[in-house]
Structure 1
Amino acid sequence: MFPRSYNSIYKAIKESFNTNSQEMNKKEEEEKEKEEPNNLIRVVSELIDQPQQRPFYLFAIDTTPHPRPYARTLAKRGYIYQPNTIIGNKPINIGHFYSVLSILPEKETDRNATWAIPLSGERVSLDKSGVEVGSEQISSVMCDSSLPWHEKLCVLVADSAYSQRSFLFDQSKHKNLVVIARVRSNRIFYQSPPVYESNKKRGCPPKYGERFNLVDVETWHEPDETTLIQQTTHKGRLLNITILAWHQMLMRGTKDQKMYRHPFTLLRIHVTDDSGNSVWKPMWLIVMGNQREQISPTVAYQSFRQRFDIEHMFRFSKQRLLMTEFQTPDVEHEENWIRLVMLSYIQLWAAKELASHLPRPWERPKEQSNDKIVTPSVVQRDFQRIISLIGTPTRSPKTRGNSIGRVQGQVQT
């Protein structure tokens, strides 16, 4: 459908991503970024409907490894984390890390297809961490006034790596953002100090109250809120979920990062079966933000459960969209390939309403109106027909003809 040479295709790719930054001065780049926000994120935001069931936009952020152990000439490689199935081996590899910020669309039921629409994908350099790059991505998205979620309630869900003090302090600057992050079960937090109206003593008032150790049950005080809900799995198993909430909790800060000014809500989620046995290890979550009171414990738990959709997006991108299969010795080409994979996933999301269910010979046919079948793999299966109907806006290439070659007897100097 696109009979072009490799050079012309990649020239178009470089122009679309504005990767010719070496020719421009840094001042011109900064002025251009201030005048023109990220057009790619703005186009993607037009594909996201405004949430109706929940009063906020839901975002998720995580890092994914790009192993390149045999690319000896590839610059800026480093040690990255990669799970290993062999017992005793260290879960490390050599390559690059990429931080991806995604928006999680609203679901009608828990059994809908899992989608995580990527908004930004940046490589994590050796002098930075994935948390620092993720903080910059969130700031660029939240500060863009042209996006539909500007100054509206937004919720960010993240794993335990993003529950550190530096990340939470940076995100507390956004007044419309609430962060729901998982914390390790060995963390130590503090209660808010009691307020004494009479018999004031000299000196600075206490900033932290009594110690709250997640491991030691004796240090826990009575929860401010207790929620009991039930959930049925896909196989019909009934689960009982107990959510304990402690409000106005604090974590230790530093001289520059005064965390006592940013209290949060601490949640403990315990899932049991009908017999009362624990199904999983109890999970701890923190809910931090100026508008955290608008997020109930049940909504916070359900929002964090949807965070795992970004893991499905990573797996689909690597298995079906060849995210980590592009071999190149140029870092710039690798970054562009990651962006191309993100765009291809976004195209599948945009075409999900046009896709038809094409079951394999061994699959059971389903109705066309079933939302569960509109998965990324189903849309990709029918994408050849969709893109054939759309066509291409470019003209057909003209043949140059065959060269006459050298004249007989011609000698090259």
Structure 2
Amino acid sequence: MSLLDDAARVESLTVLSRFRTDFYACLPARADALFELTDALLCADGPVKTLVELSLAPEHRRGHGALYGALNHGRLEVARLRRTLAGLPRPRGADGRIVLACDVSNWLRPDAATSAERLFCHTYGRGKGSAQMIPGWPYSIVAALEAGRTSWTALLDAARLGPGDDETAVTAAQLREVVERLRVAGHWTDGDLPILIVFDAGYDVTRLAFLLSDLPVELLGRMRSDRVLYFPPPPQPPGKVGRKPKRGAEFKFADAATWPEPAITTHTSTARYGRAVAESWDRLHPLLSRRSAWADYPEGDLPAIEGTVVRLRVDHLPGDRDPKPVWLWWSRISATATDVDRLWQSFLRRFDLEHTFRMIKQTLGWTRPKLRTPEAADRWTWLVITAHTQLRLARPLAEDLRRPWERSARPGRLTPARVRRGFRRLRRKTPRVSHDFPRPGVKSDLMFGSGRCGDGGAWVGGAELPAV
């Protein structure tokens, strides 16, 4: 190993250790139990099936009663933890800009009749037309995406949607706060490329673009194939009197006869999808009406929220030889050929967030616990996000502890599940933060780095943290 590689590993271990210390500082009550529960989540063998089994992990030095007591009655300073997450090193897109993805993932609780603030969550079935609405807690998740094919994302925020919430308004407020925290942390400064935020279908991306128009962001969202948008009105002929039309010609996604010649067409050869053809049309906006979200808009004409429409076609998808085109709407106009290729490639990176959802649900057991209160569910959700973040920070340090039937992974290409296999070894190299289990009349004699503390506190970077 070269000196450069050794220095990089030391820096990665320093960042991981600092994050663990900062996370502990975000726990004002039941800190040791919550911190050790997170370590048990990271070090447990195999996927998490039940919450109570985590109390058997060596890293959790308390009983199962303390585990449930911490989730039900502990405290976590979410605002402080959000600032800590925003301050960590950020992945960026191929052109150096920050790319965020936002999506909703559901914690289904159909059997929790006494649990408060459940909503009917849309879930997809295995067959066509088999979607269902099941009671549960939906969470809006924001993550930063990497460049290239990967199963890693950097989770930044989670917000549970309540029964009376306007999903678009909540998402806009959530994204506004995330962008502001990134600016405060120094990840975005004046003169940098705008932050690109990617959405899947189901979001009102045009309304989000209107609500976030004052931020340095671009929005890219998928639209249903039955949408109808409009071009701007044509110029008024000289000498013609009367009211100017409010909109121009229709653009029906399902009717090719309404499509004029695309402004830009690009062709790209890909190894996974064959030939990718992207066509774009400029300055298209939806027709708004004074109902629901726009009912309280001030008097006067509703805004024309213009953007660029991109139609993407590929030769084939995995398991689908005749894929349907994908329609995208971008919140900027006058796109170049470089912009069009960047947009559809960034949209494909949005599916990396689906890998993260599968990881935190199937391996970390996010939706496994049968918690009664939404407050406990929020607390557990943030512990899972913290655990996933530690895996991401440990990624450059982890060894490839592969099974005999698994292929070797290239350096830096370990999946989150394979990084988790070796986290127990990495944990021993980080400073000890949590205290020994308190026993009446016995004081703990702890070692934390080079500082020694025997009164229940811990030395963190030269400063002493009081016992909680």
Which of 98, 114, 129 does residue 57 from structure 1 map onto? 98
Partner of 2:461: none
Partner of 2:325: 282
Q: Is the 8 A contact 1:142 1:150 kept in 2?
A: no
Partner of 2:157: 120
Which of 248, 251, 254 does residue 212 from structure 1 map onto? 251
Q: Is the 8 A contact 1:60 1:103 kept in 2?
A: yes
Residue 232 and residue 201 in structure 1: after superposition, are their counterparts in 2 closer, same or farther (change >3 A)? same
Residue by residue over 1:283-321, the C-alpha shift from the partner in whole angstroms, topping out at 9 and shown as x without a partner, is 110111479669611000000000001111111100011
Q: Is the 8 A contact 1:78 1:94 kept in 2?
A: yes
| Distance in 2 between residues matched to 1:88 and 1:284, nearest whole Å | 21
Which of 79, 82, 86 does residue 123 from structure 2 map onto? 82
Between the two structures, name the one with larger relative contact order (CA 8 Å, sep ≥ 6). 2
2:174 equivalent to 1:137: yes
TM-superposed CA distance for 1:244, in Å, is 0.7
Residue by residue over 1:20-66, the C-alpha shift from the partner in whole angstroms, topping out at 9 and shown as x without a partner, is xxxxxxxxxxxxxxxxxx43233223333463731421000111111
TM-score of the aligned structures, taking structure 1 as reference length: 0.80
2:380 equivalent to 1:351: no
Partner of 2:364: 321
2:199 equivalent to 1:158: yes
Q: Secondary structure at the match of 2:152?
A: coil
Which of 414, 428, 432 does residue 388 from structure 1 map onto? 428
2:61 equivalent to 1:3: yes
Residue by residue over 1:136-173, the C-alpha shift from the partner in whole angstroms, topping out at 9 and shown as x without a partner, is 21121223441323554100111111145433321334
2:285 equivalent to 1:244: no
| Equivalent position amino acid for 1:79 in 2 | F
Residue 228 and residue 123 in structure 1: after superposition, are their counterparts in 2 closer, same or farther (change >3 A)? same
2:233 equivalent to 1:188: no
5 Å-filtered alignment, 1:191-340, equals 191-196=231-236, 198-199=238-239, 201-203=241-243, 205-233=244-272, 239-254=274-289, 256=297, 260-272=303-315, 279-289=322-332, 296-340=339-383
Q: Secondary structure at the match of 1:143?
A: helix
| Equivalent position amino acid for 1:75 in 2 | A
Q: Is the 8 A contact 1:178 1:291 kept in 2?
A: no
Residue 388 and residue 394 in structure 1: after superposition, are their counterparts in 2 closer, same or farther (change >3 A)? same
CA RMSD of aligned residues (A): 2.9
| Equivalent position amino acid for 2:384 in 1 | V
| Distance in 2 between residues matched to 1:48 and 1:74, nearest whole Å | 37
Q: Secondary structure at the match of 1:80?
A: strand
| Distance in 1 between residues matched to 2:371 and 2:93, nearest whole Å | 44
Which of 68, 76, 101 does residue 142 from structure 2 map onto? 101
Q: Is the 8 A contact 2:306 2:331 kept in 1?
A: yes
Q: Is the 8 A contact 1:101 1:134 kept in 2?
A: no
Shifted more, 290-299 versus 122-131: the winner is 290-299
Residue 336 and residue 245 in structure 1: after superposition, are their counterparts in 2 closer, same or farther (change >3 A)? same
Shifted more, 392-401 versus 306-315: the winner is 392-401
Q: Secondary structure at the match of 1:389?
A: coil
Q: Is the 8 A contact 2:196 2:217 kept in 1?
A: yes
Q: Secondary structure at the match of 2:197?
A: strand
Q: Secondary structure at the match of 1:178?
A: strand
| Distance in 2 between residues matched to 1:120 and 1:73, nearest whole Å | 27
The runs of 5 or more residues in structure 2 that have no matched partner are 1-58, 291-296, 443-468
Q: Is the 8 A contact 1:65 1:95 kept in 2?
A: yes
Partner of 1:69: 110
TM-superposed CA distance for 1:200, in Å, is 5.3
TM-score of the aligned structures, taking structure 2 as reference length: 0.71
| Distance in 2 between residues matched to 1:215 and 1:261, nearest whole Å | 22
Residue 291 and residue 334 in structure 1: after superposition, are their counterparts in 2 closer, same or farther (change >3 A)? farther
| Distance in 1 between residues matched to 2:369 and 2:334, nearest whole Å | 43
| Distance in 2 between residues matched to 1:286 and 1:401, nearest whole Å | 66
Partner of 2:466: none
Shifted more, 312-321 versus 252-261: the winner is 252-261
| Distance in 2 between residues matched to 1:268 and 1:226, nearest whole Å | 10
| Distance in 1 between residues matched to 2:382 and 2:278, nearest whole Å | 39
| Distance in 2 between residues matched to 1:395 and 1:187, nearest whole Å | 58
Q: Is the 8 A contact 2:105 2:140 kept in 1?
A: yes
TM-superposed CA distance for 1:337, in Å, is 0.7
Q: Is the 8 A contact 2:264 2:336 kept in 1?
A: no
TM-superposed CA distance for 1:222, in Å, is 1.0
The runs of 5 or more residues in structure 1 that have no matched partner are 19-37, 403-413
Q: Is the 8 A contact 1:165 1:253 kept in 2?
A: no
Residue 195 and residue 342 in structure 1: after superposition, are their counterparts in 2 closer, same or farther (change >3 A)? same
TM-superposed CA distance for 1:94, in Å, is 1.6
Residue 50 and residue 166 in structure 1: after superposition, are their counterparts in 2 closer, same or farther (change >3 A)? closer
| Equivalent position amino acid for 1:228 in 2 | H
| Equivalent position amino acid for 1:382 in 2 | G
